[in-house]
Amino acid sequence: MNIILLGPPGAGKGTQAKRLETGRGMIQLSTGDMLRAAVAAGTELGKQAKEVMDSGNLVSDDLMIGLISERLDQDDTKGGFILDGFPRTTAQAEALDVMLEQKGLELDYVIELRVDDAALVRRVVGRYTCAKCGQGYHDEFQKPKVEGVCDVCGSTEFKRRADDNAETVTSRLEAYHRQTAPIIPYYENDGKLKTVDGMAEIDEVTREIEAILG
Ligand code: AP5
Ligand code: MG
């Protein structure tokens, strides 16, 4: 099964993708994570992307399309993939269709996580992850069972994203409404779009997604 998780910053794309990885053996392809890895490694892509990401704007379509096309050629995507954060523009959605056809791949569902804008800033600003294994947490909504200790790997080090501040989130939200939301009708027209209430609790959102995937 190959799917897209679509939604604004803080909608829960990463949270739900990680759960599908664990539960179904699918692989999460997060363009945001790929870019952050490139920034951390100081590669040419990372140098080009850093400033754009910190301002809350979108990295160029050409770079992103090339990145995903290469990633889809790797063997670990064969058991099913979850696109998280791609496509984000009409040009990316059209390029994805072309590359899937060329690679002989099918998209099963596009799952839109719908969340009120007002809830998103609070979600994003409170988010942090384990510095060792990447498990996601939230100051209010998803605390570790033992304070300061990762549930998954026991690490006591955590980190926050450079773009997770109220100001950048506002720009990211604007970019979502201006450039990404217009691709929703594109997937509605081909019958692949399913909309889930992303305002529900994390477990409930997972149940709704599982019900769609069957
Ligand atoms: P990216 O990393 O994709 O960020 P984003 O789209 O802004 O989304 P987030 O990762 O912030 O949110 P999420 O939906 O994953 O939420 P999460 O599950 O963590 O992109 C970053 C940047 O890279 C972009 O701004 C752009 O510059 C660039 N970029 C990336 N892809 C690109 C592309 N294709 N083209 C061009 N540029 C690109 O949840 C958030 C928090 O809320 C967590 O703490 C979680 O615990 C909590 N939470 C989740 N679900 C719930 C719930 N149901 N109830 C309560 N809390 C919840
Ligand atoms: Mg994410």
Q: What's the confidence (pLDDT) of residue 59?
A: 98
Geometric angle at alpha carbon 86, from 107 and 110, rounded to 5°: 35
What pLDDT, on the 0 to 100 scale, is given for residue 206? 98
Q: 24, 71, 161, 192: which one is catalytic?
A: 161
Instruction: Please report the pLDDT score of residue 155 as a whole number.
Output: 98
AA letter at 125: V
Establish whether 141 is an annotated binding residue. no
- Residue 202's pLDDT band (cuts 50, 70, 90): very high
**Residue 19 in contact with ligand 1 by CB distance below 6 A:** no
pLDDT of residue 113: 98
Domain segments of the chain: what residues? Answer: 2-117+164-213
Coil, helix or strand for 141? coil
Indicate if 19 belongs to the active site. Answer: no
- Nearest-atom index, ligand 1, CA of 13: 14
Residue 133's pLDDT is what? 93
**Cβ 121 under 6 angstroms from ligand 1:** no
- Record the pTM: 0.95
Element (H, E) at 28: strand 27-30
Active site residue 122: no
- 153-194 pLDDT, tens digit per residue, is 999 999 999 999 999 999 999 999 999 999 999 999 999 999
Position in ligand 1 atom list of the atom nearest CA 204: 53
Each residue of 104-129: pLDDT tens digit?
Answer: 999 999 999 999 999 999 999 999 99
pLDDT, mean of residues 13-36 = 95
Run of H or E residues at 127: strand 127-130
Q: What is the pLDDT of residues 32-91, one digit of tens each?
A: 999 999 999 999 999 999 999 999 999 999 999 999 999 999 999 999 999 999 999 999
Question: Does residue 178 carry a catalytic annotation?
Answer: no
Which ligand lies nearest the alpha carbon of 168?
1
Closest to 202 measured CA to CA, from 26, 9, 14, 5: 14
Domain 2-117+164-213 sits in CATH at: 3.40.50.300
Percent of the chain with pLDDT over 90: 97
Q: What is the pLDDT of residue 39?
A: 96
pLDDT on residue 107: 97
Rounded to the nearest whole angstrom, what is the distance from the C-alpha of residue 75 to the centroid of ligand 2?
23
In this predicted structure, what is the pLDDT of residue 187? 96
Ion ligand 2: residues, CB < 5 A? 14
88 is catalytic: yes
